[in-house]
Amino acid sequence: MSILLYAVYTAVHLLLLLWGVKIWRRHHTLSTALLVAISFGLFYDNLILALGTWLGEGDLLLALSWPRFILHQLVLPWMILAAYDQARLTGAGWTKWRWGRGTAVLLSILVMIAGIFTRLVPVALEPELMDGVVRYVARNVSGPPIVSIVSIGLVGVMGISWWRQKQWPWLTLIVILVFIGEGYPSEAVRRVFGSGLEAVLMGILYFTTYRFALAGVQRTKPSVG
């Protein structure tokens, strides 16, 4: 079952990645470029999980698994800046603070550095079979997954202003669901459905860009004639 779901998630993330590239080619916004980078990381992650059982334990799967962990720690923190930039394009009042973007950049960098030192520097990868999926998992790491908690959590916090100002609750609601899913007692279920919720989160982030940010850009363009 998990193998099938990871294959589905891979296809969904590929579609989201292509959609993001299409949006970015039309409107070169920072938030879209960052979301495309995050989409690629999630696509690659699910692809290797879907192929793990077919490839089997060994040097090839180990080599292909390292980028899963590296991309997660290096790319996901920039979801913070992407969410901030989305809100800024809509003209949300709190984004007009003088040091707003600088703070978002700094937070993204700090979370990335924290991920590197807590999840990459000490890590050792070991094979594991879970619900029929052969994968390499991280060992020798300690503490909570800072990158996921802070990055996704701040998206939910910033989503509150969308809820209040634009009657758009979906960013906050999906983040709440992600955190609820992370608390599920079965690790196999938590991992596979957590990946599905990540796909939903990315879809909502892209649709938020399409529905509000780009619409706002279009409205500000001068008419011709």
Give pLDDT, residue 215.
Answer: 60
Q: What is the residue whose two structure tokens read 């850009």?
A: 217
Give pLDDT, residue 225.
Answer: 39
DSSP assignment of 72-101: HHHHGGGHHHHHHHHHHHTT-GGGGSTTHH
Give pLDDT, residue 97.
Answer: 82
Give pLDDT, residue 212.
Answer: 76
* Residues 177-206 pLDDT 10s: 999 988 777 777 788 888 999 999 999 999
* Residues 96-147 pLDDT 10s: 788 888 999 999 999 999 999 999 999 999 999 988 899 999 988 877 889 9
Give pLDDT, residue 46.
Answer: 96
Give pLDDT, residue 220.
Answer: 45
Q: What proportion of the chain, given as a percentage, has pLDDT over 70? A: 94
pLDDT surpasses 90 at 6: yes
Average pLDDT over residues 41-70: 95
* Residues 58-77 pLDDT 10s: 999 999 999 999 999 999 99
Helix (H, G, I), strand (E, B) or coil at 169: coil
- Can you tell me the distance from the alpha carbon of 1 to that of 216, in angstroms, rounded to the nearest whole number? 42
Give pLDDT, residue 211.
Answer: 82
CB 215 within 8 A of CB 91: no
For the chain, domains (ranges, CATH) are 2-215 (1.20.1070.10)
221 or 60: which leads in pLDDT: 60
Give pLDDT, residue 186.
Answer: 78
Give pLDDT, residue 213.
Answer: 61
The pTM score is 0.90
* Residues 173-184 pLDDT 10s: 999 999 998 877
Give pLDDT, residue 51.
Answer: 95
> Dihedrals φ, ψ of 148, to 5°?
-65, -45
Count the Cβ atoms, other than its own, within 10 Å of residue 56: 11
Average pLDDT over residues 37-43: 97
* Residues 150-174 pLDDT 10s: 999 999 999 888 888 788 899 999 9
